[in-house]
Amino acid sequence: MTYADIVLDLIKKDDRYIIMTSENRAAFRNLPPLIKNNFIDTGITEQTMIGMAAGLALRGRTPIVHALATFLTMRAFEFIRTDVGIANLPVKIVGAVPGFLSDGNGPTHQAIEDVSIMRGIPPMNVFCPADEEDMLKGLKSVFTHSAPFYIRYNPTKALVEHSKFELGKAEVFGKGTDVAILVYGFLFREAFKAKEILESKGVSVRLINIRTPKPIDEETVLKAVDECKLIVTLEDHFITGGLYTILAEVLLRNRKTANVLPFALMNKWFKPALLNDVLEYEGFTAGQIANKIFNKLKIEH
Amino acid sequence: MKKQKLHELKQTSLRVREHIIRMSGNGGCFIGASLSCADLIVYLYKEFLNVSKENMKDPKRDYFFLSKGHDVPALYGTYVELGWLEEERLKNHLKTNDFIYWHPNRNIPGIEFHSGSLGHNLSVAMGVAMDCKLRKQKNKVVVVVGDGELNEGSMWEALLVASAYKLDNLMIVVDRNQFQANIQTEDLIPLKPLAKKFEAFGCKAKKVNGHNFEKMDEIFKNFPFEKGKVSVVIAETVRGKGLPSIEKRADRWFVNFKEEEIEQLLKELHGAKQTKLTSETIVAR
């Protein structure tokens, strides 16, 4: 099962679904001849594509629009906000190569404020799957939901088997109380490996795959805040407006505070390179994450 | 066009202009643009579009989009004349108990989509036109745009795509009143030769006097102008049409008239001498 299979299956069962792209066909190269009328490539025109998606939605369609995350969420931002957001239309916005996944492309292609700006649109939901398996588990609920969604496309291979997807529910690994690692998207992989390193030194870890930064699973987050000594937020996103900010909002709403260690891009774009080198350079490998947590907990390692 | 029909259209647009003028106080409205496209909107709804109170939710209806949202008083006025909107509700203009304000809102029956941010409704209309084509339905999709709005890159980007997909069920009507907000278009970002620009983008363009119903009838009845092409009507209009005291005036783009000015303007509309306007002119907003 792949992303393309899920889209094909949806379209075969229900003619309402239409996949649109502004010439970013990589994720579904073989689909167009199979779905003919349910596939529209508008060329390199993110704004027009979103406007048309709104028009198609007015006619009862559910467009799945697929393009590079930066250009889709930023070039077309006002179209998403004004045409999809104000009208609350069921348009599914799939952003390809988000966050660190844009690896060697450079800052023009780094979608590291996408979660912040998309969640700021009132009816918009945000789904950031940990890996391909997590994405495929969630897509059906997300695509068939009546609300607009932004999806951080993530085709990386899974390290673990994920649980059933439930909108607005985080996925929790372990019951540790020393540290809770809150993470969404691709960095789940590093978080999972960091958990193993930490546990090998006797640190008890609770790993929380946020899945949907919006709606946020406030109950699971608050439980971690109440039960764990240290809260880590981990994201390939600017420090502003993403998970760290979401946690701050949850804490403030509930008149709480916490001992928080954030991993995020601190007001700078990341060094363009091959993915693993990016992680190393920016300090986001499992080992680097674990070390910072050891230091914070004042544990010899 | 029969004389009776022509008389009827002229009377309707006169009443629509009265509604617009009455909305130009108590907070005001964008009167210049509303008056320039009043005849166009009346013509489209009365003569061209297959949309009525009964079929306005039917997927087989024709679709109308007002991309240049400023002139929505002309649309409200037309809806009153069509019997879609109670005249009393126009008094709710800019009140919190209704949805009648400076730009279109979908809560008003008949309004297909909101606008206000320029350069949006063409691509939205294209999505609708595309779906009608995919479903092999014969709906016409009309979008009225401003000439100033043609500064927006999204308009030209959308035209490329509309032509690529041969959306000949789509008509773009340009309210060519020669003005953008504060300045004449040709003095700021010149658009001439406009018809040639549209044709270079793969459309079929025709010009018409946007205040002459008989001429409009001759042009519109040929839709689509060419198989496989988007039809474009460049409607030559006058900003503030019907009120010589504000016609072609950049400083009467947005107005907020006093009660006595409104009374005098209503008389001016019916042929009385030009109104001596004393209220503050608002150039930029």
CB–CB contact B157 A50 (8 Å):
no
> Does residue A87 share a domain with residue A13?
yes
Beta-carbon contacts of A150 under 8 Å, excluding residues fewer than 6 positions away, are: A73, A93, A95, A114, A115, A118, A119, A124, A125, A126, A127
B contacts of A78 (beta carbons < 8 Å): 117
> Does residue A135 share a domain with residue A17?
yes
What's domain B3-269's architecture? 3-Layer(aba) Sandwich (3.40)
Q: What pLDDT score does B237 carry?
A: 98
Q: Rounded distance, CA B152 to CA A82, Å? A: 16
The partner residue sitting opposite B130, judged by closest CB among A43, A56, A83, is A56
Average pLDDT score over residue span B17-40: 96
Average pLDDT score over residue span B65-75: 97
Average pLDDT score over residue span B96-113: 97
Task: Find, in chain A, the residue whose alpha carbon is nearest to that of B159.
Answer: A48
Residue A164 forms part of a structural domain: no
Q: Answer whether residue A196 shows pLDDT above 90.
A: yes
A contacts of B64 (beta carbons < 8 Å): none
Phi, psi of B3 (to 5 degrees): -60, -40
> Does residue A291 share a domain with residue A195?
yes
Q: Rounded distance, CA B205 to CA B236, Å? A: 13
Q: How far is CA A239 from CA A42, A115, B22, in A?
A: 34, 11, 52
Q: Rounded distance, CA A44 to CA A71, Å? A: 10
User: What is the percent of chain A where pLDDT is above 90?
Assistant: 98
Q: Which of A44, A83, A91 to mutate to test the interface with B (most CBs of B within 10 A)?
A: A83
CB–CB contact B164 A43 (8 Å):
yes
Q: Is B183 exposed, middle or buried (0-12, 13-18, 19+ CB in 10 A)?
A: middle
Report pLDDT digits (tens) over A246-255.
999 999 999 9
Q: What pLDDT score does A301 carry?
A: 82
Question: The CATH number of the domain where A208 resides is what?
Answer: 3.40.50.920
Task: Find, in chain A, the residue whose alpha carbon is nearest to that of B60.
Answer: A59
CB–CB contact A59 B128 (8 Å):
yes
B contacts of A55 (beta carbons < 8 Å): 123-131
Q: Which of B123, B139, B143 to mutate to test the interface with A (most CBs of A within 10 A)?
A: B123
The alpha carbon of residue A258 is apart from the nearest alpha carbon of chain B, in Å, by 42
Q: Answer whether residue B284 shows pLDDT above 70.
A: no
CB–CB contact A48 B130 (8 Å):
no
Residue A166 forms part of a structural domain: no
Q: Answer whether residue B270 shows pLDDT above 70.
A: yes
* Average predicted confidence (pLDDT) for chain B: 96
Residue A45 forms part of a structural domain: yes
Q: What pLDDT score does B281 carry?
A: 79
Q: Rounded distance, CA A142 to CA B281, Å? A: 51
CB–CB contact A56 B113 (8 Å):
no
CB–CB contact A87 B128 (8 Å):
no
Q: What pLDDT score does B283 carry?
A: 58
Strand pairing report for A171-173 and A205-209:
antiparallel
> Does residue A10 share a domain with residue A51?
yes
**Which stretch of DSSP H or E encloses residue B173?**
strand B170-176
* Average predicted confidence (pLDDT) for chain A: 97
Residue A193 forms part of a structural domain: yes
Q: Rounded distance, CA B32 to CA B73, Å? A: 11
Residues A233 and A191: beta-carbon distance below 8 Å: no
pLDDT band at A95 (very low <50, low <70, confident <90, very high): very high
The count of domains in chain A is 2
Question: The CATH number of the domain where A82 resides is what?
Answer: 3.40.50.970
Residue A159 forms part of a structural domain: no
pLDDT band at B285 (very low <50, low <70, confident <90, very high): very low
Average pLDDT score over residue span B222-227: 98
> Does residue A89 share a domain with residue A27?
yes
Q: Answer whether residue B267 shows pLDDT above 50.
A: yes
Report pLDDT digits (tens) over A202-226.
999 999 999 999 999 999 999 999 9
User: What is the percent of chain B where pLDDT is above 90?
Assistant: 95
Report pLDDT digits (tens) over A226-237.
999 999 999 999
Q: Rounded distance, CA B162 to CA A52, Å? A: 10
Average pLDDT score over residue span B219-232: 98
Residues B6 and B218: beta-carbon distance below 8 Å: no
CB–CB contact B128 A40 (8 Å):
no
Q: Identify the domain containing residue A122 by its residue range.
A: 3-152
Residue A161 forms part of a structural domain: no
Helix extents (H) in chain A: 3-13, 32-35, 46-58, 69-70, 77-79, 114-119, 132-144, 188-200, 218-227, 243-253, 275-282, 286-297
Q: Which of A48, A80, A83, A89 to mutate to test the interface with B (most CBs of B within 10 A)?
A: A48
The alpha carbon of residue B190 is apart from the nearest alpha carbon of chain A, in Å, by 24
Chain B residues whose C-beta is within 8 A of a chain A C-beta are: 59, 106, 112-114, 117, 119-132, 134, 154, 157-158, 160-161, 164-165
The alpha carbon of residue A46 is apart from the nearest alpha carbon of chain B, in Å, by 10
Q: Answer whether residue A176 shows pLDDT above 60.
A: yes
Q: Answer whether residue B209 shows pLDDT above 90.
A: yes
Q: Which has the closest alpha carbon to A73: A43, A54, A98, A90? A: A98
**Which stretch of DSSP H or E encloses residue A237?**
strand A230-238
Q: Rounded distance, CA B48 to CA B64, Å? A: 11
> Does residue A116 share a domain with residue A205?
no
Q: A231 is written with which tokens?
A: 């809260």
State the ipTM, two decimals.
0.96
Q: Is B142 exposed, middle or buried (0-12, 13-18, 19+ CB in 10 A)?
A: buried
Q: Which has the closest alpha carbon to A87: A117, A110, A121? A: A121
Chain A residues whose C-beta is within 8 A of a chain B C-beta are: 37, 40, 42-43, 45, 47-61, 78-79, 82-83, 86-87
Q: Answer whether residue A300 shows pLDDT above 90.
A: no
Q: What pLDDT score does A16 carry?
A: 97
Task: Find, in chain A, the residue whose alpha carbon is nearest to that of B134.
Answer: A37
